[in-house]
Amino acid sequence: MSAPGAEPRAESTAPRTGFILLGLLSFFWGINWPMMKWGVTEVSPWSFRAFCIVVGSIGLFVCARLARQSITIQRRDLRPLLVAAFFNTTVWHLCSAYGLVHMASGRAAIIAFTMPLWATLLAVPVLGETITKAKMAGLALGLAGLALLLVGEAAAIGAAPLGALLMLGAALGWAAGSLAVKRHRWSMQSFPLTGWQLLLGGLPILIGWWILEGDGTWLRPGIDAPSWRGLLGLVYAATVPMIFCQWGWVRVLQVFPASVAAVGTLLIPVVGVFSSALLVGERIGLTEIAALGLITASLAVVLGPRVPGVPRR
């Protein structure tokens, strides 16, 4: 199912566009996890997310105007837009920011990307999608890879259960929000749709920021001035993931069935783990490499040329 008002595309190029976007999303969203860790280590979660929402929504609306896409909200779109905005923005951004405060970025990414499990299960009653053998096999391989990554982290997660619960809440929020986007036949195109989700879902976060930190106390306790790492993490998280990746995810949902698109995100936590090892110094070894193999296999099974509902190239 694709949204009315989506950019015109030929059916023969749709899967190729989806594959390219999934690859780019895996890279840019994966790197975002250590970047966010740099940011929330020095900037408070409320200020961090408020900045990202303001910059991201402005950027998306600018892109909409440059692409000559109308930013008007039709009456029929308002209710599903508020639902999608709440889950995709309010729940995801608050839970993930506070989750990162309480646990390592690599572990946080792994838990957040249990999202494909919840999206695949919820897509059956919500969207009427069928769970094929290919989807189940791919999902099982991908979750096995994530489980392998978590085996060595059980003690650390047990010592900080709040972070794990928050990241699980973020995963459930993203799954519900993705299904809300996929379920409705939108009158608006992808840039304004993404921008409005970010702005409307970000209003509770902006209000919370104003109440809690409107006096200018935006840095974490003990931080006099942000380092270059903190500033880089803040700027990166507010631009590439919030503008390109948010828009790209809406486009992916227009190309693939929700369950297939969700499984396609399983490579993101692998990129997150490897980039966290490189940028934050978190541990990596044979377990991570084996998990990468399992997740790559899951993507090959689910995103292969015989995926139901996806035209052949």
Mind listing the pLDDT tens digit for each residue in 30-42? 999 899 889 988 9
Has residue 109 been placed in a domain? Answer: yes
Least confident of 72-81, 87-96, 114-123, 294-303: 294-303
Query: How far is 284 from 278, CA to CA, in rounded Å?
Result: 9
Phi, psi of 219 (to 5 degrees): -90, 155
Mind listing the pLDDT tens digit for each residue in 86-132? 999 999 988 988 888 887 777 777 778 778 778 888 888 888 888 88
Has residue 225 been placed in a domain? Answer: no
- The reported pLDDT for the residue numbered 150 is 72
At which residue do the structure tokens 């399992």 appear? 294
Phi, psi of 129 (to 5 degrees): -75, 155
Has residue 312 been placed in a domain? Answer: no
Query: How far is 255 from 15, CA to CA, in rounded Å?
Result: 7
Has residue 9 been placed in a domain? Answer: no
Domain that holds residue 129: 14-216+230-302
Give CA separation, 85 vs 81, 95, 273, 298, in Å.
Answer: 6, 14, 28, 29
Q: How many domains does the chain have?
A: 1
At which residue do the structure tokens 């690599």 appear? 106
